[in-house]
Structure 1
Amino acid sequence: MERAAVGIVVVLVVVLAVFGALHWYVWRRLVRDTTVAGSVGRRIGTAILVAGPLLLVAAGMTERAGIPFLVVRFIAWPGYLWGAVFVYLLLALLVGEVVRIPLLRQRDTTATTVAPRTVEPVPGHGATALPKPDSADAPRIPRRLFVSRAVGGAAAVAAVTTVGYGTYGVLSGPQVKRLTVPLASLPRGAHGFRIAVVSDIHLGPILGRGFAERVVATINDTQPDLIAIVGDMVDGSVADLRPAVAPLAGLRARHGAYFVTGNHEYFSGAEQWIEHVQELGIHLLANTRTELPGFDLAGVNDIQGERTGQGPDFVKALGDRDLSRTAVLLAHQPVLIEDAVAHGVDLQLSGHTHGGQLWPGNYLAGLVNPTVAGLERYGDTQLYVTRGAGAWGPPVRVGAPSDITVIELASKQA
């Protein structure tokens, strides 16, 4: 235990050191290199570069610290938005080095350059003259300062614009995607069955009741046969988020709405959420399945549940089923695809990845997930991963637009 504790401390120190070093780099390029020592601009820039990371760390800590929800919301907005802005400031400044370094290698123009003076005769005094500066050759900004301001300004505009557009996309609500998935064993009678797949809504200190209402309206407008909520519905306790999730009771589908846990439910009090979801009229699939016309619908708990003995149990959910029937599985994380293949699942529906949420996060997500977004085949099993309806942390998406996917099952016998 002591060795494990020491290891955690070492990792934490390294992470904080890297975090601090990256912020120092951004401060140096964006503030120190573009302002004069002691100026108002430098003081303001420094204050922002200190307050931003502090609010970001505070936002991550307060959600699980038992702090009043109103305070959490007050900190979360600026804290998480700073996280997104910082990512794109850093990327833009690194790209800016490609321009900055070659330009600064050229000979600098000093700030002490003084314009040459011309001489004009004084009326009535012959050759007596007074110096007059030439306005065309006024003192110029040093090359280093000019280049730093140009690169820093461009980086700031690019970062703020990117984050602003990404925030607008999230708050506007998810778009509907439609996809047809042929299944070899699906009977003709189930041909055209439509499942609205929604994941990663992440109702919490930032996305609240208004966002939930938009999600419900979008789903209901598609008039699905069944609604599948594939985990990470919330970020917070039932006590704090009861008003935010209330609109989910309005979900409508011919065969109802079904829910499986995601990892964030286990961060937010899974037992209470499992009860409350059912109070909202949503069916729970916790390592269980139900028979629907033409196929079996199964659901397994998220991997995070293993910490409390409530992890995924494929034997319980699928072990004794009729293998001649088509099986559709709800599983929050795509990494469970290997178990799905082993148990003869025809189609697994997952979320979790957010499609990377913030580019280039999709490349990082691809390192730990077999599929980041979209439909892929693994043996006889197809896996569909939705990018999710909401956002975790900053309410921002870049290169990974949010979606609700309507999957239409197709029988090859039709």
Structure 2
Amino acid sequence: MIVLVVLGALLVLALLILIHRYLWRRLVRDVSAPGGLWRRAGTVLAVALPVLAVGALLGNRLFPIPVQRWFAWPGFLWLAVLLYLMMALAVGELLRPLLLRLPSRRAETVAAVPAKEDDDPSAEGSPADSPASPAAAPSPERRLFVARAIAIGASGTAAAVVGTGAYGVLRGPRLKQVTVPLAKLPARAHGYRIAVVSDIHLGPILGRAHTQRIVNTINAAKPDLIAIVGDLVDGSVPELGRDAEPLAQLRAPDGAFFVTGNHEYFSGAAPWVDFVRELGVHPLQNARVELGGFDLAGINDIAGERKGDGPDFGKALGDRDPARTAVLLSHQPVTIHDAVRHGVDLQLSGHTHGGQLWPGNFLAELANPTVAGLERYGDTQLYVTRGAGAWGPPVRVGAPSDITIVTLASLQA
């Protein structure tokens, strides 16, 4: 196992070196003069940025949160820029031959000059064979102009995409409204509203202010119940407890509930379960509570299986009245098939981030039955929120963060 990890790390490092060497060629060497200021500065950045990126990726294993922040902000943002910069440069590589073949203004001028009567087109040094001819190879000036145009265009595109995506995360999630009809829900529970929030990811980038924005948004919506569906944190209670404290301000008539996500097990799930309980949020550890119109159940995340603390559907849903509606909180959508077998009416999940960074949604589809939104599996419905935070780069592209108000609708109303 250790050998595989080392080989994997070496492969990633080699890939980063090759990518940044390519970027140095296209964004530094091809657009600047040797010895110039940009050549020197660009070379330094080509070395420093991948080091910061590796530091951000490995920081949670090597450094405490205060030190991680020095790597996380520039390192993770660079990884997001790198993704879209490479995509933009790939388009530039396709356009480069076309741009180089376009006739230059000088070539058009030469072509427009009429030949003298005594000129011999076949003579040596004729315009047809001169470097100024449109058919000749592009001049160094032309190559420099095209290289700079592609570099500026790709860099500007990547910066604009990442800047917009970062603003969306740091601004805070927006409310999304979804209505779910449930056949067994009694008429008295028609219109019951659950605020579903997941993947807050408090850590070296998102902190107390982010939690406060989420709490304010949820409280302003005045839901009947609040469900925190895992991946609250990326760190320990001593490091991030203060950042999570605003959760104590959550207000709903039937209270706030919490289930673990896979990242809680990376950070120490048991201390976090105890901590959120102290904040007034009720953990559902393979447990169930009976509310006025339905049963609310919660299971531990699949990641807990390695620590003997995984999901237990029998414990959470056994011995219940099957005539009552069952709503299940489960961090990962992949548990939907177990939920179907246990007669759950609605499963509320997160985990996917909706893909977070396009085209990451296509990769997320390979590992999850539903990436975002509401879908039906037999008699069970699954709703997956895109989450309220971000993991890694504090950037979302094509998958804006949300807090969803799920309104339960009774077919008997």
Asked if Structure 1 and Structure 2 have the same fold, meaning a TM-score greater than 0.5 normalized by the shorter chain, the answer is yes
1:76-225 to structure 2, matched below 5 A, reads 76-104=72-100, 142-225=141-224
Report the CA distance between 1:38 and its aligned residue.
2.4
Structure 1, unaligned stretches of length 5 or more?
111-139
Q: Does 2:343 align with 1:344?
A: yes
Report the CA distance between 1:269 and its aligned residue.
1.2
Do the aligned partners of 1:340 and 1:381 also contact (CA within 8 Å) in 2? Answer: yes
Question: Which amino acid in structure 2 is aligned with residue 376 of structure 1?
Answer: E
Question: Which amino acid in structure 1 is aligned with residue 158 of structure 2?
Answer: A
**Residues in 2 aligned to 1:77 and 1:15: alpha-carbon distance in whole angstroms:** 21
Aligned equivalent of 2:2 = 5
**Residues in 2 aligned to 1:331 and 1:172: alpha-carbon distance in whole angstroms:** 27
- Match of 1:281, SS state, is coil
Do the aligned partners of 2:81 and 2:162 also contact (CA within 8 Å) in 1? Answer: yes
**CA-to-aligned-CA distance 1:79-104 (integer Å, 9 cap, x gap):** 11111111111111011112113333
Aligned equivalent of 2:136 = none
Report the CA distance between 1:150 and its aligned residue.
0.2
Match of 1:49 among 38, 46, 59: 46
Report the CA distance between 1:21 and its aligned residue.
1.9
Report the CA distance between 1:106 and its aligned residue.
6.7
- Match of 1:64, SS state, is helix
**CA-to-aligned-CA distance 1:19-66 (integer Å, 9 cap, x gap):** 32222222221122212222211111121122111111111212222x
Do the aligned partners of 2:336 and 2:382 also contact (CA within 8 Å) in 1? Answer: yes
Q: Does 2:331 align with 1:332?
A: yes
Question: Which amino acid in structure 1 is aligned with residue 35 of structure 2?
Answer: G
Report the CA distance between 1:351 and its aligned residue.
0.4
**Residues in 2 aligned to 1:27 and 1:299: alpha-carbon distance in whole angstroms:** 50
Do the aligned partners of 2:330 and 2:349 also contact (CA within 8 Å) in 1? Answer: yes
Aligned equivalent of 1:22 = 19
Do the aligned partners of 1:109 and 1:142 also contact (CA within 8 Å) in 2? Answer: no
Q: Out of 68-77 and 85-94, give the one that drifted further.
A: 68-77
**Residues in 1 aligned to 2:100 and 2:35: alpha-carbon distance in whole angstroms:** 24
**Residues in 2 aligned to 1:201 and 1:228: alpha-carbon distance in whole angstroms:** 12
Report the CA distance between 1:17 and its aligned residue.
2.1
**CA-to-aligned-CA distance 1:274-299 (integer Å, 9 cap, x gap):** 11010100000011111111111011
Q: Out of 195-204 and 32-41, give the one that drifted further.
A: 32-41
- Match of 2:209, SS state, is helix
1:197-346 to structure 2, matched below 5 A, reads 197-346=196-345
**Residues in 2 aligned to 1:209 and 1:308: alpha-carbon distance in whole angstroms:** 29
Match of 1:64 among 36, 61, 65: 61
Aligned equivalent of 1:405 = 404
TM-score (structure 1 length as normaliser): 0.89
**CA-to-aligned-CA distance 1:224-256 (integer Å, 9 cap, x gap):** 000000000111111111211111100000000
Taking only aligned residues, the RMSD between alpha carbons, in angstroms, comes to: 1.7
Aligned equivalent of 2:124 = none
**Residues in 1 aligned to 2:103 and 2:13: alpha-carbon distance in whole angstroms:** 38
**Residues in 2 aligned to 1:290 and 1:399: alpha-carbon distance in whole angstroms:** 36
Do the aligned partners of 1:109 and 1:143 also contact (CA within 8 Å) in 2? Answer: no
**Residues in 1 aligned to 2:308 and 2:247: alpha-carbon distance in whole angstroms:** 28
Aligned equivalent of 1:126 = none
Structure 2, unaligned stretches of length 5 or more?
107-138
Report the CA distance between 1:389 and its aligned residue.
0.5
Question: Which amino acid in structure 2 is aligned with residue 332 of structure 1?
Answer: H
Give percent identity, aligned residues only: 65
Aligned equivalent of 1:369 = 368
- Match of 2:297, SS state, is strand
Aligned equivalent of 2:117 = none
Question: Which amino acid in structure 1 is aligned with residue 411 of structure 2?
Answer: K
Question: Which amino acid in structure 2 is aligned with residue 225 of structure 1?
Answer: D
Report the CA distance between 1:261 and its aligned residue.
0.3
**CA-to-aligned-CA distance 1:342-361 (integer Å, 9 cap, x gap):** 11110000001101111111
Question: Which amino acid in structure 2 is aligned with residue 407 of structure 1?
Answer: V
